[in-house]
Amino acid sequence: MERIMKAQVLRDSSMAGYMSSKKTMEINPENSIMGELRKRADVDKNDKSMKDLVLLLFETSLLTYSFSLDEPSTFGKRIHRMLKLGLSIDEDDAPAEPDTDMPPLEEEADAESKMEEVD
């Protein structure tokens, strides 16, 4: 219902608080992921990758249970940072140079195959 109300063109913003559902996230403290996150958080509370992992866990659970994200672009950036971290790509690395082995583009076809211009 929340998504339907959010998509309405002429919606009343004062009703948004009534129509949105309160989200509750239940955490299983015996889960292996939660245990490892807890250990790493105890070691360094200011680790940016830890914060990203926790937020990814939360946002992924929102998507899994059909909620929508408030800022999907932030979620995408976080995914890209974690992929770079997992692939050991440095943030400061310059992008790879374009592939020069590509063949040149084909020339335009002759005049007979072109469409006629119509007034």
CATH number at residue 71: 1.20.120.790
Evaluate whether residue 39 is within a structural domain: yes
Question: What is the enclosing helix (H) or strand (E) of 33?
Answer: helix 32-43
Higher pLDDT, residue 108 or 26: 26
Judged against a pLDDT cut of 90, whether residue 6 lies above it is answered with no
Categorize the per-residue pLDDT at 3 as very low, low, confident or very high, splitting at 50, 70 and 90. low
Judged against a pLDDT cut of 80, whether residue 95 lies above it is answered with no
Identify the pLDDT of residue 65. Answer: 85
Report, as an integer, the average pLDDT of 35-61: 90
- Number of structural domains found in the chain: 1
Evaluate whether residue 96 is within a structural domain: no
Judged against a pLDDT cut of 90, whether residue 15 lies above it is answered with no
Q: Max Cα separation, the chain?
A: 74
Cβ atoms < 10 Å from Cβ of 103: 5
Q: Which domain holds residue 65?
A: 28-90
Judged against a pLDDT cut of 70, whether residue 114 lies above it is answered with no
DSSP 110: P
Judged against a pLDDT cut of 80, whether residue 42 lies above it is answered with yes
Evaluate whether residue 71 is within a structural domain: yes
Categorize the per-residue pLDDT at 43 as very low, low, confident or very high, splitting at 50, 70 and 90. very high
Evaluate whether residue 102 is within a structural domain: no
Categorize the per-residue pLDDT at 10 as very low, low, confident or very high, splitting at 50, 70 and 90. low
Higher pLDDT, residue 20 or 62: 62
CA angle, 116 then 105 then 102, to 5°: 165
